[in-house]
Chain A
Amino acid sequence: EPEVTQTPSHQVTQMGQEVILRCVPISNHLYFYWYRQILGQKVEFLVSFYNNEISEKSEIFDDQFSVERPDGSNFTLKIRSTKLEDSAMYFCASRKGDRGNQPQHFGDGTRLSIL
């Protein structure tokens, strides 16, 4: 069964550095998402992406964050200048989206640790 894949599985970065998290969604899916889960807290929506543009973003997704689908297969999340509070598990998800009520399929996540 097709899967969403995320790399790296663990990223350690110094505060203030830029970080790029990578995701390969399922190939025939049309909607793409990023979520994050701070340790001990609930999974939170960051951003959704459809037709090569952001369709919705949360308050968390400020100017430090950006997303891109550079080559038709990868879907990336960039954090420009990382803060300690960006430490979290980041999940990518994709959804087919050709009709309603189709579930999102999640990757195994990237654990981001900011030092």
Chain B
Amino acid sequence: AQSVTQLGSHVSVSEGALVLLRCNYSSSVPPYLFWYVQYPNQGLQLLLKYTSAATLVKGINGFEAEFKKSETSFHLTKPSAHMSDAAEYFCAVSLQGGSEKLVFGKGMKLTVNP
């Protein structure tokens, strides 16, 4: 069975600082990997997804993530945080074939300080 680990529950950065949100996964077969963002009182919005074509994936709003098979990681980064990035971020994994249900990490709340 697949699983996702997001250590910690809250990250606080200053505006303009680097954002780094960690995600490690466990999967018996090559997984599909995703990052979703949830703004207050809204649903989950796709930030980016991993495809086997490239290990460095660029998403919306300046975010990117790098797939590292040797580390079973898919960390999310953004060079310079903006106030509007304050939200909760979820890493998710699914298996190829079948229903491709998503298994989520517990999420990371990002606070951006002025």
Contacts and interface: CB of A to CB of B under 8 A. Distances in A.
Interface in A25-60: 31, 33, 35, 41-45, 48, 50, 55-56
Nearest to A44: B104
Interface stretch (B13-21, B39-47, B79-87): B39-47
B76 to A, nearest CB: 15
Contact of B96 (A56, A93, A101, A106): A101
A2 interface: no
B27 interface: no
A104 B102 contact: yes
A95 B101 CA distance: 10
A100 to B, nearest CB: 6
A32 to B, nearest CB: 10
A39 to B, nearest CB: 12
B45 A50 contact: no
B51 interface: yes
Nearest to A46: B101
Instruction: Give the dominant DSSP class at A's interface.
Output: strand
A105 interface: yes
Contacts, number: 63
A68 interface: no
A103 B34 contact: yes
Contacts of A41: 106
A18 to B, nearest CB: 24
Interface in B17-63: 32, 34, 36, 41-46, 49, 51
Contacts of A42: 90, 104-107
Contacts of B102: 33, 35, 43, 45, 93, 104
B44 A91 contact: yes
A108 interface: yes
The 5 closest A-B pairs by CB, nearest first: A48-B99, A56-B99, A106-B44, A108-B43, A106-B43
22 contacts: A31-B100, A42-B107, A43-B44, A44-B104, A45-B102, A45-B103, A48-B99, A48-B101, A55-B98, A55-B99, A56-B98, A91-B43, A93-B44, A100-B97, A101-B49, A101-B51, A101-B96, A103-B34, A103-B46, A103-B49, A106-B44, A109-B43
